[in-house]
Amino acid sequence: MLNVDEVSKTLSELLWAEKYRPKTLDEIVNQTEVVARLKQFIKEKNMPHLLFAGPPGTGKTTAAHALARDFYGDDYRLYMLELNASDERGIDVIRTKVKEFARSKLPADVPFKIVLLDEADNMTADAQQALRRLMEMYVTVSRFILIANYPSKIIEPIQSRCAVFRFVALKKEDVVSRLSWICSQEKLKCGNDALETIYELSEGDMRRAINILQSTAALGEITVSNVYKVVGLAHPKEVREMIKAALSGNFIKARDMLRSLMVTYGMSGVDIIKQIHREIMSSEVDIPESVRVELADYIGEIQFRVVEGADDEIQLNALLAKMALIGRKLAEVQAKRVGK
C-alpha cells in the first residue's frame, strides 16, 4: 500500500511527465511564424535575401540548412557557400570567395544558389559595405542568408535588402522535453528539478542547455547541485542565505559567506552580482517592493563599477553593507510600529 506522500509524489511525477512529454513533430520548435514563411518560399521555389536574427541557440543556422536542403535535396552543399563571418569577416573574403561563388551560375531546378554568412554581425564595416553591392549585382543567380545575434550591428542598407526573420528564445517546456528525451535515450538518471534548473541557466539557448546536460552527466547523476557545480555558480539557496543575513543586519556573517562562495566556487564578482540580482527579483526573498527597487538600483551601480575594473570584493562588500543598512532601517520601522 502506498501512503499519502508516495501517492502525491507519484501524481506529481506523472503530471510533470505529461507536461514535458517529448515532441515528435518534424518542425522548428517555437518558431511557428518563421516556419510558415520559409515553407512558402520553398513552395514558390524562390526567395529574397534573408536575415535571421535572434538569441543564440534558437535554431537560426539549422533553419538555414533545412531551407537549403528542401530547395536542393541531399546534395544541397554543392549549391550553398557557408562562411562564418566571425572568422572570415574581412573585405578580402567578400571580394574573393563570396564574389566568385555568387557570380557563377549552376544548372539546377532552383534558379539561384545560397550564400550563408553565419555571425554576420561580426563582419567589419568595410566588408558590409562591399557586401551590399554584391547582393544587388548577383541577385539573379544568388541569394544571401545572413545570421546575426545582434541585428543592430548590421548596416541599414543591408537590412533593407533582406526579409527579416526574428527567432525567439525557446520555451521552458520545449527545452525540458528535449532534455528529458536525451536522458531517456542515453539512459541517464536525471531529476525533474535538475532539468528545470538547466533551462533557467541556459535562458532558452538549446545548445547551451545540451552542453550543461552533457557536462553534468560526466559527474554521474544529474542533480541540481551537480548542475551548479558544472556551470561554476553557487547554489541559489546559499546566495539567498547570504542576502537574508545581510538584510537582517548581520554584515560580518554575510561577508564571511561571500568569501566562502568566492573561494569554494571560484566565482567572479560579475557572476555573484548576477545571482544576487536574480534572487532579489525572485519570490523566494520576502522583502517590500520599495526595498527591492532600491536594491535593484544599487546592484546596477555595483555591477557597472565591477565591469569598469573596480575590485570585486570591495564592491561586493559595499553591496552587502548597503543591504545591512537597509535591513536595520526596516527593523527600526517595524519596531516603532510594534511600539505604537
Co-location of 153 and 263 in the same domain:
no
Residue 8 has pLDDT above 90, yes or no: no
Q: Is the pLDDT of residue 50 over 60?
A: yes
- Are 218 and 254 members of one domain? no
Q: What is the reported pLDDT for 321?
A: 92
Q: Lowest-pLDDT range, 74-83, 101-110, 182-191, 263-272?
A: 101-110
**Do 211 and 312 fall within a single domain?**
no
Find where cell 539573379 sits. 140
- Last-in-domain residue among 231, 246, 271: 231
Strand, coil or helix: 221: coil
Report whether 102 contacts 142 (CB < 8 A).
yes
Which has the closest alpha carbon to 178: 223, 149, 208? Answer: 208
- What span, in angstroms and rounded, lies between the C-alpha atoms of 301 and 277? 12
Q: How far apart are CA 47 and CA 163, in angstroms?
A: 9
Domain with residue 57: its CATH number is 3.40.50.300
The CATH number of residue 191's host domain is 1.10.8.60
Q: How confident is the model at residue 339 (pLDDT cuts 50, 70, 90)?
A: low
**Which residues form the domain of 304?**
236-339
Cα 268 to Cα 312: distance, rounded to the nearest angstrom: 7
User: Per mean pLDDT, which range of 162-166, 237-241, 252-256, 334-338 is the poorest?
Assistant: 334-338
- Report the chain's mean pLDDT, rounded to a whole number: 81
* pLDDT computed for residue 191 by the predictor: 78
96 and 133 assigned to the same domain = yes
Say what the pLDDT of residue 24 is. 47
| pLDDT at 113 (0 to 100) | 86
Across 293-309, b (16+ Cβ under 10 Å) vs e yields eebeeebeebbebbeee
Q: Rounded to whole angstroms, how far apart are CA atoms 280 and 290? A: 12
Residue 298 and residue 277 share a domain: yes
The answer on 53 and 151 residing in a single domain is yes
Task: Output the pTM of the full model.
Answer: 0.72
The pLDDT of residue 16 is 45
Residues in the chain: 340
Q: What is the pLDDT of residues 103-151, one digit of tens each?
A: 666 656 778 888 888 888 888 888 888 888 888 887 888 888 999 988 8
- Give yes or no: residues 178 and 73 share one domain: no
Selected residue with higher pLDDT from 247 and 19: 247
**Domains contained in the chain, number:** 3
Above 50 in pLDDT, residue 48? yes
Q: What is d(CA 14, CA 90) in angstroms, rounded to the nearest whole number?
A: 54
Percent of the chain with pLDDT over 70: 86
Q: Are 319 and 239 in contact (CB under 8 A)?
A: no
- Give the count of beta carbons closer than 10 Å to the beta carbon of residue 13: 11
pLDDT of residue 304: 93
Instruction: Report CA Rg, the chain.
Output: 26
User: What is the rounded average pLDDT of the residues 19-39?
Assistant: 69
Residue 36 burial class via C-beta count within 10 angstroms: exposed 0-12, middle 13-18, buried 19 and up: exposed
Q: How confident is residue 14, by pLDDT bands cut at 50, 70 and 90? A: very low
- Residue 245: CB atoms within 10 A of its CB come to 22
Answer yes or no: do 146 and 72 share one domain: yes
Q: Which of 231, 253, 269 corresponds to the end of one domain? A: 231
Residues 55 and 18 in one domain: no
Residues 39 and 137 grouped into a single domain: yes
Are 46 and 154 in the same domain?
yes
Residues 137 and 62 in one domain: yes
pLDDT in tens, 169-227: 888 888 888 888 888 888 888 878 888 888 888 888 888 889 999 888 888 888 888 88
pLDDT tens-digit readout, 271-304: 889 889 988 888 777 788 888 888 899 999 999 9
Query: Across residues 236-251, what is the average pLDDT?
Result: 88
C-alpha cell at 57: 541557440
